[in-house]
Amino acid sequence: GLYFINVTSGKQTLSQMVVKE
């Protein structure tokens, strides 16, 4: 499946796309 991980650290927003089954 396809998962989107959004991590908010302070004033920075990190978007990471993780590909799993």
User: Is 7 in contact with 18 (CB distance < 8 Å)?
Assistant: no
pLDDT of res. 10: 79
CA angle 10, 4, 8 (to 5 degrees): 5
Collect all residues with Cβ–Cβ distance below 8 Å to 6 and sequence separation of at least 6.
Answer: 13, 14, 15, 16
pLDDT of residue 15: 76
The full DSSP string for 1-21 is -EEEEEEEETTEEEEEEEE--
The pLDDT tens digits of the residues spanning 2-19 come to 778 877 777 877 778 788
Q: Name the CA dihedral angle for 10, 16, 2, 20, rounded to a multiple of 10 degrees.
A: -110
pTM of this structure: 0.18
pLDDT, residue 1, reads: 77
